[in-house]
């Protein structure tokens, strides 16, 4: 049993939970969060791929990939949230 | 431009649209001029790259001179170059069409200003993806494409467009994240991300998981039945040039990545190839039925995209696992045929809607205005999509059926025939309404004068028709640099 | 015979999974976002345990902090909407639950069969560190070895702000949360400190964990405080400056990548003597763009003068 093993399984579980949420959730914000869970799960897997039993230094390449992934994900999240706000506004206006 | 020989064309193909996007966004008043200029410069760079590939074979650029797997390489072989040429050919004409579609009389200032940066960012992503040789880089490119494509989907700003754009966004991000999880498994097993590493790899459970995740993500992004739910709404509710780009180009890029990956990481089982073909058959049947029932012209055209994607996957599976070494050519030809014809058709549908004022199929023949040229263009594009000679669509279907017959897979021939009958049926609904005008009581006003916007779709539709005659040289060009088999 | 740290890891892993479930199941939407923020911080902690401090910092600042702020302001806008529009049929839930359990099983199986701690690219990175121009391996990968990816990542951010400005037309002045008086006083004190921290993170990134993205995120927090404290109000006249800020990082990054080429050098191939300077230049400009863009993404819509209905445009 190692930290890598524990957190690798954690990441896969979080990914699967996020996938479930993305497939069945209907609330807009919750769907966005479900997708965010998937991205954290994928991040876990890459960080585990970089991990070496200390004191050996980790592989920096996956770390760079996850940082890129985090910035990409907030970009996608911001667009999705803007669409949610816009749709809400359009639907509210027609309801009146 | 002073020292021509030192220009690195693969880099230029990615950076020219990026520069255009930056300029068009920073300087909105000049967005259209800057945007069109940047598309033309990119087209010239692709032409130069094509000449270089023709002369020297595959062109590889080691960015930063590190070389894969530490660095990232760009690689242009025959297949990549043909798809780049397709992208720029379609893109250039759609850009010209956009000049009219978003003209001050038709669209608000905002729409016009935002179309260009979004389209050029999309073009950056498309070109980058066709040249990529690294799975993580592909993930980033897919995200560039996804965000720009969603922006284009909601460009009209209506409620239906925003709702469809949001559905598209969810599907697109989920597809990208499935792909990213696959990338994680690739690195876990191989410790590298470049295509050469994938080709050299021994089969392993982690790679099977990676391939499954990446294929699932790509099929969602390509909208293969039953993962097509997001497509009709998004493509039907966008403005016409955006629909042309989304249907003609955007769905093709995930198809292309699928094609590469399934060659580099062989599918573990024959059953899987058959399953993918079966999903394609499902798309042909379900999409065909929906196209027959569609009440609006653009929705019908969007459902026909679902059908055509199904057909492309049938071409993928046409000769089973052993046939994959050849089947990719049928896939590539059909990708090309659909891109050119569908872009022309969506632009023509947009013209019809602009002129008539609506796109309800049942009422098209009651209109006092008959946009004859746009209707003619629509019919020409339909010929290629149905697959009549001498169109590119015919060439693609011919290669498909030839391979299927040679391998004795007659069921795929049958499915293709059924798909053809379906497309004849649903396009006839539209064409019949173009030809009938007895329900119109007042005199019919023919053809509202020549517009630039009529030229763009017409040229695209004519190209789809005529390029079928050039199918043999296109096929020969695609094999340059041995896209599959040799180490990239 | 269980090591205490491994026990900690196991408990942390369980807590993360439980929080993920809670995010999807808790009824109240505000609680959902708070739980998500806790989830993100716990994940960052786990990544510290996996010796990935850079990633943990980025996840805490961007993936959790700024994402949480975005979610909260969106919730503020849409809170009138019903929490659960349409209930999902139970059969669909069960089928998807089964599907995802199956996927978890398959992926976990593949993961357990894969030997961990393979060499990966670490040796190649170590070998080329001296030529990279920076001392911190993650920064070397981000800004030199895989600089093309990083450029495209900044392009994704640019695409996001273009799309967000396009989507939200700014015609209706939507209610935005405002900080109370006490917090305004606090923000005046905090702002200079945050600017210093952000700049420090950028600077230290060349040698130690930190860098453009973490620094940019912290500086973006300055923008958030300015916006929330009404210390800065976006005006239509500021749009050209904002646009310049958004494209600055991409333009400088792409420009440097192209300009170093020629004379036998390839794009992105920084001359060894100037590698450090060029990378710092790129990092500085990218940091500014990230900070401005993230703050603008938080603000949402493009500041527009015309407060009229949609159709008159």
Q: Is B1 contained in some domain?
A: no
Radius of gyration in angstroms for the set of CA atoms belonging to chain C, rounded to a whole number = 23
Low-confidence ranges of chain A (pLDDT < 70): 94-96
The 10s digit of each residue's pLDDT in B57-66 is 999 999 999 9
Cross-chain Cβ contact A14/C20 below 8 Å = yes
Question: Cβ of B184 under 8 Å from any chain C Cβ?
Answer: no
Whether residue B346 is contained in a domain is answered as yes
For residue B487, is it within any domain? no
Nearest CA to CA, how far is A96 from chain B (Å)? 15
- Dist CA A11 CA B410 (whole Å): 45
Name the DSSP letter for residue C306.
-
Q: B398 to chain A nearest CA, in Å?
A: 39
Helix (H) or strand (E) holding B445: strand B445-446
The alpha carbon of C270 is separated from its chain's Cα centroid by a whole number of angstroms, namely 27
Separation of alpha carbons B246 and B252, rounded Å? 9
The count of domains in chain B is: 1
User: What is the pLDDT at residue C180?
Assistant: 64
* H or E stretch at B272: helix B270-293
Residues 6-65 of C with CB under 8 A from B: none
pLDDT score at C313: 33
User: Using CA atoms, how far apart are residues C277 and C69, in angstroms rounded to an integer?
Assistant: 34
CB contact under 8 A, B163 and A87: yes
pLDDT at res. C228: 81
Tokens of B209: 């998981």
Distance from CA of B65 to the nearest CA of A (A): 17
- Please check whether residue B426 lies inside any domain of the structure: yes
Which residue in B139, B150, B184 is closest to A79 by CB distance? B150
CB-defined contacts A:B, below 8 A: 82
pLDDT at position B224: 95
Low-confidence ranges of chain C (pLDDT < 50): 1, 171-172, 174-175, 307-313
Based on DSSP, count helices (H) and strands (E) in chain B, helices before strands.
19, 4
Chain A residues with CB under 8 Å of B136 CB are: 65, 68
* pLDDT over 60 at B1, yes or no: no
- Chain A hits for B178, CB-CB cut-off 8 Å, are 19, 38
DSSP class of A57: P
Q: Are the Cβ atoms of A15 and B159 closer than 8 angstroms?
A: no
- Look up the domain containing B383 and give its range: 269-478
Verify whether the Cβ–Cβ distance B162 to A86 is below 8 Å. yes
Instruction: Report, as an integer, the average pLDDT of B23-45.
Output: 95
Alpha-carbon distance of B90 to C300, in angstroms, equals 33
Q: Give CA–CA dist C19/B135, Å, rounded.
A: 31
In a domain, B310, yes or no: yes
Mean pLDDT of B287-302: 95
Least confident of B107-111, B114-118, C307-311: C307-311
Q: What is residue C215's predicted lDDT score, i.e. its pLDDT? A: 86
Q: How many CB pairs (< 8 A) connect A and C?
A: 269
Contact C254 B19 (CB under 8 A): yes
Residues 30-49 of A with CB under 8 A from B: 31, 35, 38-39, 41-42, 45-46, 48-49
- Distance (Å) from the C-alpha of residue B193 to the closest C-alpha of chain C? 10
Residue B173 located in a structural domain: no
Chain B nearest-CA distance from A54, in A, is 18
| Cβ-defined contact of B166 to A87 (cutoff 8 Å) | yes
- Shortest Cα–Cα distance, C183 to chain A (Å): 25
Residue that has been written with the tokens 């032409």 in this structure: B47
For residue B458, pLDDT over 80 is answered with yes
Q: Which of A49, A68, A83 sits opposite B166 (nearest CB)?
A: A83
Search chain B and give the residue with CA nearest C245. B26
Q: Shortest CA distance to B130 belongs to which of B309, B339, B369? A: B339
Q: Would you call A51 an interface residue with chain B, using a CB distance cutoff of 8 Å?
A: no
Q: What is the pLDDT of residues B379-438, one digit of tens each?
A: 999 999 999 989 999 999 999 999 999 999 999 999 999 999 999 999 999 998 887 765
User: C240 to chain B: which residues are within 8 Å by CB?
Assistant: 26
- CB-based contacts of C307, cutoff 8 Å, min separation 6: C171, C172, C173
Burial of residue B366 (number of CB atoms within 10 Å: 0-12, 13-18, 19+):
middle
Inspect the interface and report whether the beta carbons of C246 and B204 lie closer than 8 Å: no
- The distance of A39 to chain C (nearest Cα, Å) reads 10
Asked if A85's CB is within 8 angstroms of C174's CB, the reply is yes
**Range 97-116 of C in CB contact (< 8 A) with A:** 97, 99-101, 103-104, 107-108, 111-112, 116
Q: What are phi and psi of B370, to 5 degrees?
A: -120, 105
Show residues of chain B in contact with C158, CB under 8 Å: 21-22, 25, 121
Question: B330 near B409, Cβ under 8 Å?
Answer: no
ipTM of the complex: 0.97
> Taking all residues of chain B, what is their mean pLDDT, rounded to a whole number?
91
Query: CB distance from B107 to chain C under 8 Å?
Result: no
Q: What average pLDDT does range B115-142 have in this prediction?
A: 97
Contact across the interface for A80 and B173, Cβ inside 8 Å: yes
C121 interfaces chain A, CB cutoff of 8 Å: yes
Question: Which tokens go with B392?
Answer: 């590119």
Does residue C54 sit at the A interface (CB-CB below 8 Å)? yes
Question: Any bridge partners for residue B296, and if so which?
Answer: B360
Please report residues of C whose CB lies closer than 8 A to that of B178.
none
The answer to whether residue C145 neighbours chain B at the CB level (below 8 Å) is yes
| Contact call for A67 and C172, based on CB within 8 A | no
C-alpha A45: how far from chain center: 12
Residue B374 lies in a domain: yes
B320-365 residue pLDDT tens: 888 888 899 999 999 999 999 999 999 999 989 888 888 898 888 7
Identify the three-state secondary structure at position A43.
Answer: helix
Q: Which residues contact B286 (CB under 8 A, 6 or more apart)?
A: B225, B226, B306
**What distance in Å separates the CA atoms of residue C133 and residue C114, rounded to the nearest whole number?**
35
Structural domains of chain A, ranges and CATH numbers in brackets: 3-95 (1.10.287)
Q: Which residues of C touch A37 (CB under 8 A)?
A: 20, 23-24, 39
Q: Is B65 on the interface with C (CB under 8 A)?
A: yes
Task: Kindly state whether B2 is in contact with chain C, defined as any CB-CB distance less than 8 angstroms.
Answer: no
Which site among B122, B173, B229 would you substitute to test the A interface, given the most A Cβ atoms closer than 10 Å to its Cβ? B173
Neighboring chains of B (3 or more beta-carbon pairs < 8 A) = A, C
Residue holding tokens 């798309």?
Answer: B283
pLDDT at B354: 85
From the list A38, A79, A86, which residue is nearest B177 (CB)?
A38
What subunits touch chain A, counting only 3 or more CB pairs under 8 A?
B, C
Tell me: cis bond preceding B226? Omega within 30 of 0 counts: yes
* Cα of C189 to nearest chain B Cα, Å: 34
């Amino acid at each position: 049993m190692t930290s890598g093993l524990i957190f690798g399984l954690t990441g896969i579980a979080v990914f699967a939970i996020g996938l479930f949420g993305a497939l069945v959730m209907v609330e807009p914000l919750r769907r966005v969060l479900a997708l965010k869970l998937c991205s954290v799960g994928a991040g876990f897997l890459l960080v585990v791929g970089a991990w070496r039993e200390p004191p050996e230094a980790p592989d920096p390449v996956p770390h760079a990939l996850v940082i890129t992934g985090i910035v990409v994900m907030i970009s996608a999240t911001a667009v999705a949230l803007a669409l949610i706000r816009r749709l809400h506004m359009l639907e509210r206006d027609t309801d009146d | 431009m002073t020292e021509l020989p030192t220009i690195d064309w693969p880099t230029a193909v990615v950076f020219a649209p990026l520069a255009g996007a930056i300029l068009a966004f920073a300087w909105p008043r000049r967005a259209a001029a800057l945007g069109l200029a940047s598309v033309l410069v990119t087209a010239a760079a692709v032409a130069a790259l094509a000449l270089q590939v023709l002369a020297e074979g595959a062109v590889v650029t080691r960015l930063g001179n590190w070389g894969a797997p530490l660095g990232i390489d760009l690689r242009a072989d025959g297949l990549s170059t043909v798809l780049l040429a397709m992208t720029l050919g379609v893109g250039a004409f759609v850009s010209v069409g956009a000049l009219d579609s978003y003209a001050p009389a038709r669209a608000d200032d905002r729409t016009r200003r935002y179309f260009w940066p979004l389209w050029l960012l999309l073009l950056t992503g498309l070109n980058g993806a066709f040249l990529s040789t690294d799975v993580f880089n592909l993930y980033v490119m897919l995200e560039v494409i996804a965000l720009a494509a969603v922006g284009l989907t909601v460009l009209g700003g209506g409620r239906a467009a925003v709702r469809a754009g949001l559905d598209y966004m969810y599907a697109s991000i989920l597809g990208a994240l499935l792909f990213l999880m696959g990338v994680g498994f690739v690195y876990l097993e191989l410790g590298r991300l470049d295509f050469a590493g994938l080709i050299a790899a021994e089969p392993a459970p982690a790679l099977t998981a990676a391939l499954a995740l990446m294929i699932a993500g790509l099929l969602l992004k390509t909208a293969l039945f039953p993962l097509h739910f997001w497509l009709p709404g998004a493509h039907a509710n966008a403005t016409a040039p955006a629909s042309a780009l989304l249907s003609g180009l955007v769905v093709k890029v995930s198809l292309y990545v699928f094609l590469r990956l399934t060659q580099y990481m062989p599918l573990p089982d024959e059953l899987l190839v058959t399953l993918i073909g079966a999903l394609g058959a499902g798309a042909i049947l379900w999409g065909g039925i929906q196209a027959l029932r569609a009440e609006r012209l653009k929705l019908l055209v969007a459902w026909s995209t679902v059908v055509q994607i199904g057909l492309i996957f049938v071409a993928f599976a046409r000769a089973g696992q052993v046939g994959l070494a050849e089947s990719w050519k049928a896939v590539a030809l059909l990708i090309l045929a659909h891109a050119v014809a569908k872009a022309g058709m969506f632009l023509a549908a947009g013209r019809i809607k602009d002129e008539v004022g609506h796109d309800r199929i049942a009422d098209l023949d009651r209109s006092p205005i008959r946009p004859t040229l746009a209707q003619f263009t629509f019919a020409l594009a339909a010929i290629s999509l149905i697959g009549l000679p001498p169109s590119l669509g015919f060439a693609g279907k011919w290669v498909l059926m030839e391979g299927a017959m040679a391998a004795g897979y007659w069921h795929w021939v049958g499915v293709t025939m059924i798909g053809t009958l379906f497309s004849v049926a649903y396009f006839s609904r539209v064409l019949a309404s173009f030809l009938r005008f007895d329900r119109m009581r007042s005199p019919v006003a023919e053809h509202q004068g020549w517009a630039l916007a009529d030229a763009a779709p017409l040229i695209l539709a004519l190209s789809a028709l005529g390029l079928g005659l050039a199918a043999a040289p296109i096929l020969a060009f695609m094999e340059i640099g041995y896209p599959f088999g040799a180490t990239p | 015979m269980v090591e205490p740290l491994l026990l900690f890891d196991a408990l942390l892993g369980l807590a993360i999974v439980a929080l993920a479930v809670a995010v999807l199941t808790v009824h109240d939407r505000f609680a959902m976002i708070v739980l998500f923020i806790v989830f993100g911080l716990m994940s960052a902690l786990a990544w510290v345990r996996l010796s990935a401090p850079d990633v943990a910092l980025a996840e805490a600042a961007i993936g959790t902090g700024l994402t949480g702020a975005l979610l909260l302001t969106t919730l503020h806008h849409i809170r009138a909407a019903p929490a659960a529009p349409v209930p999902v049929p139970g059969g669909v839930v069960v089928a998807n639950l089964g599907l995802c359990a199956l996927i978890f099983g398959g992926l976990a199986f593949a993961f357990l069969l894969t030997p961990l701690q393979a060499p990966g690219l670490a040796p190649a990175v170590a070998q080329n560190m001296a030529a990279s121009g920076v001392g911190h391996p993650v920064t070397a990968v981000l800004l030199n070895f895989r600089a093309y990816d990083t450029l495209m990542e900044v392009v994704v951010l640019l695409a996001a702000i273009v799309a967000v400005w396009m989507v939200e037309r700014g015609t209706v002045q939507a209610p935005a949360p405002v900080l109370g008086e006490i917090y305004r006083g606090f923000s005046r004190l905090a702002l200079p400190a945050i600017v210093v921290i952000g700049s420090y993170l950028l600077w230290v990134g060349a040698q130690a964990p930190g860098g453009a993205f973490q620094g940019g995120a912290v500086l973006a927090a300055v923008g958030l405080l300015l916006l929330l404290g009404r210390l800065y109000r976006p005006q239509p006249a500021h749009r050209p400056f904002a646009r310049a800020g958004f494209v600055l990082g991409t333009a400088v990054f792409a420009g440097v990548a192209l300009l170093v080429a020629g004379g036998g050098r390839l794009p992105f191939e920084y001359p060894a003597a100037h590698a450090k300077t060029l990378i710092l230049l790129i990092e500085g400009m990218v940091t500014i763009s990230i900070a401005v863009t993230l703050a603008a993404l938080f603000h949402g819509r493009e500041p527009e003068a015309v407060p009229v209905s949609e159709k008159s445009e």
